[in-house]
Structure 1
């Protein structure tokens, strides 16, 4: 248990120095605990990159199961001690979800769990997934990631929302076919790291507009007649 708690703290704080300060132990002592755990398992759990530590593939596997084990143990202790009620739920939500879908869900949850405190964190989908894996949040409401990012995570399909091509009401191209309008006017796109951008690129390709370098790139979440799943 001590080894797993130390391991999860290093993941949570990003490096051994920060984790040692949070645990009120010396850095050499925590380094030895991690080293002992790696020796017990016979694998390397971290890659050192300057002051930061990154999980290896074996480290990611251990993290997934260790988080689940710790949460199950906490639930078991709370259940037998009569202290299962209350607590805090940390939820990561996309900015587009934080102002629309999530508030009604949070209110409904609070009515059934009056003693629980809900805290929210907003950010890009990729950032929220990293926080979920590191244990900084308990769950997230975001776009469904690529298959390669799903191992170790469970998800539930909530809803599908359209992604639209939008212009002002008085725009001179409002009655044009989309392909003609997109060739004639600059376009605001989702940023290149957004999951939704892949759908946008596919849509452009169907119109013969794969050369997105012709367009002005601005980091917003908007744009096309396809769909995005949450």
Structure 2
């Protein structure tokens, strides 16, 4: 195989893994889609295994493909470095950090982390990508991100990744200060359902925890609830109406501290979400990424939600 494997095989595979679509991979490499399909088929014949699942919704790596990706990334990075060395007359580009974060996490700890990072690394660039956990982990595996600030996923999605626990974040139910529920002597979860709910979309971790919380009280999230991952939209709806926003606490921290929103006095024990740093298990972490990760650890130990020691803080 060593004598038959070519750089075009690896370049093609990396483009497919990162674009998650054969058509876009072909455009990126200035090739036709049949040429991409042929090169990919050659690579799979060499591997003796299917590396990419093709379908109407794009291209997805198989477990064998994810395993090969860990090594293909090293080859791709070495090729980029070699190209940069050959064009040494060009001005070097500024170092940049590529990070991903869930929307609710990005609006919580990320602003303070970025402010501190720019204070100590003013010349370093930062590109922050937000999205669902699944999309961010796919981008991380494909080498598009240095790390992700997110949540543990199911074992199959964590293949080739490691998780470093930072803090456990509780859910809160946030409402505007003049909300009718606050006039009651005792707020019940049943009474909450008399008002519109703003919740995370189905299959996301915050939504799974929200559903579990209601299930534990023999209730369910109404199907007519407003579902969104947008913190900015959710907070404005809650501030301008009688809707109840069910959200990780840090996402609503500034509004709760400033008094524009109030947390309903309901016990939310058991509705905590572990948040941490997700990295690729193989390969080295850049010095910039290490510096930013240390800032995140420092902030995780501070209020709100002081970090608590848990068994198995690092999971591979």
Q: Which bracket does the TM-score occupy, shorter chain normalised?
A: 0.7 to 0.9
Whole-Å Cα distance in 1 between the matches of residues 34 and 80 of structure 2?
Answer: 32
**Is the partner of 1:48 in helix, strand or coil?**
strand
Q: Identify the match of residue 246 of structure 2 among 216, 220, 223.
A: 223
> For the structure 1 residues 29 and 75, does the alpha-carbon distance in structure 2 shift closer, same or farther, using more than 3 Å as the test?
closer
> For the structure 1 residues 108 and 165, does the alpha-carbon distance in structure 2 shift closer, same or farther, using more than 3 Å as the test?
closer
Q: Do residues 166 (structure 1) and 174 (structure 2) align?
A: yes
Give the count of matched residue pairs: 226
Residue number in structure 2 paired with 1:196: 206
**Is the partner of 1:43 in helix, strand or coil?**
coil
Residue number in structure 2 paired with 1:44: 50
Alignment check: 8 A CA contact 2:49 2:64 kept: yes
Residue number in structure 1 paired with 2:14: 8
The structural deviation recorded for 1:98 is 3.0
Residue number in structure 2 paired with 1:32: 38
Whole-Å Cα distance in 1 between the matches of residues 172 and 15 of structure 2?
Answer: 42
Whole-Å Cα distance in 1 between the matches of residues 17 and 56 of structure 2?
Answer: 15
**Cα deviations by residue, 1:120-164 (Å, 9 ceiling, x for unpaired):** 112222322222233332321123323442221112222222211
**Cα deviations by residue, 1:16-69 (Å, 9 ceiling, x for unpaired):** 333233223444443332222111111111222248323223222222343356
Higher relative contact order (CA 8 A, sep 6+): 2
Instruction: Point out the structure with the larger strand share.
Output: 2
Residue number in structure 2 paired with 1:135: 143
TM-score computed with the length of structure 1 as normaliser = 0.79
Q: What is the RMSD of the two structures over their aligned residues, measured on CA atoms?
A: 3.3
**1:88-167 correspondence to structure 2 within 5 Å:** 88-167=96-175
Q: Do residues 187 (structure 1) and 232 (structure 2) align?
A: no
Unaligned runs of 5+ in 2: 1-5, 230-244, 248-267, 276-316
The structural deviation recorded for 1:75 is 9.9
> For the structure 1 residues 57 and 148, does the alpha-carbon distance in structure 2 shift closer, same or farther, using more than 3 Å as the test?
closer
**Is the partner of 2:272 in helix, strand or coil?**
strand
Q: Which moved more, 1:189-198 or 1:175-184?
A: 175-184
Whole-Å Cα distance in 2 between the matches of residues 161 and 33 of structure 1?
Answer: 46
Whole-Å Cα distance in 2 between the matches of residues 125 and 203 of structure 1?
Answer: 21
Unaligned runs of 5+ in 1: none
Whole-Å Cα distance in 2 between the matches of residues 172 and 51 of structure 1?
Answer: 45
**Is the partner of 2:174 in helix, strand or coil?**
coil
Whole-Å Cα distance in 2 between the matches of residues 9 and 75 of structure 1?
Answer: 14
